[in-house]
Amino acid sequence: MEMVVLPGRRARRLRRPSAREAGTALLFILPCLALFVVFRFGPAIAGVVLGFTDYTIGGDTGWVGLENFRRLVDDPTFWSAVRVTVVFTLLSVPLSMLASLGMALLTRRAFRGAKIFRSIFFLPVVTSLVLAGVVFTWVFAEGGPWSSLMAGLGLPAGSWLADSVLVIPALVFVSVWSRFGYGMLILLARLQEIPAELEEAARTDGASAWQRFRYVTLPQLRPALFFVAIIETTVSFQVFDTVYVMTGGGPVRASYTLVYMLYDQGFRYFDLGYASAIGVALFVMTVVVALIQRLTLGREK
């Protein structure tokens, strides 16, 4: 028996549910649990299995073993897509995390209009990426606002989306703009949980603002930063919407990512077995990067 005291009320005893009651509760939960398992893990398992077949829509399916993965190793398009995806991730994740951390530190204090600023910063997260891609296609087009700004600064004023070197920075800009609000919200929640006494004690001991951030705030943020890093890395590896809308993988496949290659193989060429193998390779890459991040950011003392 367990005694619980509720404010303003008499103490009352709460008993543990019996096995029969727990079974009844599980019975009610079971339909939702079954749907979650079927529609969450079923497609993932089917995708792994299809990676070992030559499955195509409307055709015969046969078991080919590791043949699809051998094709990946020998496919220069695959390695080009890996390079583009890795470069995009290496640029997008740190910039997004820096923007998230900066905005969280900027809005952590209570001031007039703080909630309005937080809402504005979070707004891109709930904005359709397709709509954002259409708008930013116009922004980065030749003769668009960005091109005019570059011309005013005396820099090359062509379309960034038509330049094989500048197309990835343009996509990274859109990605950071659309994602930093989510990380800001996570870090802001963690910042507000840090006891104010810690910073006050450091300030009393003569610590500068940078020292207080480095030795007091940053260690407290480590679990939240690890979570944001995992989420941002996963999203960056799976970038597709903006690439599909803004560049179509071009120019000359300079923005041809792994997920776009998966889309091409599966839904343009209907080689779903090979597309599934690409998905498996992408999953393995994401897990490996997550483990590396776990050993660095997520390591506990």
pLDDT tens-place string over residues 150-203: 888 877 778 889 889 999 999 999 999 999 999 999 999 999 888 888 888 888
pLDDT > 70 fraction of the chain, expressed in percent and rounded:
93
Dist CA 195 CA 212 (whole Å): 13
- In this predicted structure, the answer to whether residue 113 has a pLDDT above a threshold of 80 is no
User: Mean pLDDT over residues 94-104, rounded?
Assistant: 94
List the beta bridge partners of residue 56.
Answer: 271
Report the length, in residues, of the chain: 301
Q: Is residue 36 part of a domain?
A: no
User: Mean pLDDT over residues 117-129, rounded?
Assistant: 89
- In this predicted structure, the answer to whether residue 27 has a pLDDT above a threshold of 80 is yes
- In this predicted structure, the answer to whether residue 72 has a pLDDT above a threshold of 80 is yes
Q: Can you spell out the DSSP letters for the chain?
A: -EEEPPTTS--EEEPPPPHHHHHHHHHHHHHHHHHHHHHHHHHHHHHHHHTTB--BTTS---B-TTHHHHHHHH-HHHHHHHHHHHHHHHHHHHHHHHHHHHHHHHHSS--TTHHHHHHHHHGGGGS-HHHHHHHHHHHHSTTSHHHHHHHHTTS--S-GGG-TTTHHHHHHHHHHHHHHHHHHHHHHHHHTTS-HHHHHHHHHTT--HHHHIIIIIHHHHHHHHHHHHHHHHHHHHT--HHHHHHTTT-STTTT--HHHHHHIIIIIS-BHHHHHHHHHHHHHHHHHHHHHHHHHTT---
Q: Is residue 143 part of a domain?
A: yes
pLDDT > 90 fraction of the chain, expressed in percent and rounded:
44
Q: Is residue 42 part of a domain?
A: no
Q: What is the pTM of this model?
A: 0.85
Dist CA 272 CA 47 (whole Å): 9
User: Mean pLDDT over residues 34-62, rounded?
Assistant: 86
Rounded to the nearest integer, the mean pLDDT of the chain is 87
Q: Is residue 212 part of a domain?
A: yes
Q: Is residue 110 part of a domain?
A: yes
For residue 94, give the CATH number of its domain.
1.10.3720.10
- In this predicted structure, the answer to whether residue 79 has a pLDDT above a threshold of 50 is yes
* pLDDT at residue number 1: 43
Q: Is residue 37 part of a domain?
A: no
Q: Is residue 207 part of a domain?
A: yes
Give the count of domains, the chain.
1
- Selected residue with higher pLDDT from 53 and 17: 53
User: Mean pLDDT over residues 226-241, rounded?
Assistant: 92
User: Mean pLDDT over residues 58-79, rounded?
Assistant: 89
User: Mean pLDDT over residues 12-29, rounded?
Assistant: 78
Task: Tell whether the torsion through CA atoms of 287, 292, 297 and 301 is positive or negative.
Answer: positive
Q: Is residue 60 part of a domain?
A: no
Residue 150 belongs to domain spanning: 68-296
- In this predicted structure, the answer to whether residue 298 has a pLDDT above a threshold of 80 is no
Out of 6-15, 46-55, 187-196, 255-264, give the one with best mean pLDDT: 255-264
* pLDDT at residue number 119: 86
* pLDDT at residue number 19: 80
